[in-house]
Amino acid sequence: MRRGRRDGNHKALSELFRQLGCSVVDMPDTGIPGWPDAVVGCIGVNHFCEYKSQETAYGRAGFNANQTAFNRDWRGEPVALVSTQDDVIALVAKWRESVRTR
């Protein structure tokens, strides 16, 4: 199995999701090109998240070609791009609000 690279903020972002009451499975070692970095469970729904570090040019560039292709071809919810703790907090709030408004 191919070991995936983790962005420098990967561990901190996953931990913050957990602190906010989400479950997280880190996925960079799947070996599937473009597969998101994490599956995050929040209030009964699974979400894909791609972590990017704003500390690197690679991270600031957004989705790479494999990730863009995965997003294009995936028939579920779009992959969320997460870079900062504020992104995590806002995303969890959005997910929770979407359940309240259904």
Q: Following DSSP, what letter does each residue of the chain receive, concatenated?
A: -PPPP--TTHHHHHHHHHHTT-EEEE-TTS--TT--SEEEEETTEEEEEEE--TTSHHHHT-S-HHHHHHHHH--SSPPEEE-SHHHHHHHHHHHHHHHHT-
In a domain, 6, yes or no: no
Q: What is the pTM of this model?
A: 0.89
* Average pLDDT, integer, range 3-8: 72
In a domain, 10, yes or no: no
In a domain, 2, yes or no: no
Report yes or no: 6 and 37 within 8 Å, Cβ to Cβ: yes
Query: What's the maximum distance between 2 C-alpha atoms anywhere in the chain?
Result: 42
In a domain, 26, yes or no: yes
Number of domains, the chain: 1
Which domain does 62 fall in, by range? 17-44+54-100
Position 80 pLDDT exceeds 90:
yes
| Residue 16's pLDDT band (cuts 50, 70, 90) | very high
Greater confidence, 58 or 92? 92
Tokens of 102: 């259904």
In a domain, 72, yes or no: yes
Mean pLDDT, the chain, whole residue set: 91
Q: How many Cβ atoms sit within 10 Å of the Cβ of residue 31?
A: 10
pLDDT tens-digit profile of 20-36? 999 999 998 888 899 99
Q: How many Cβ atoms sit within 10 Å of the Cβ of residue 89?
A: 13
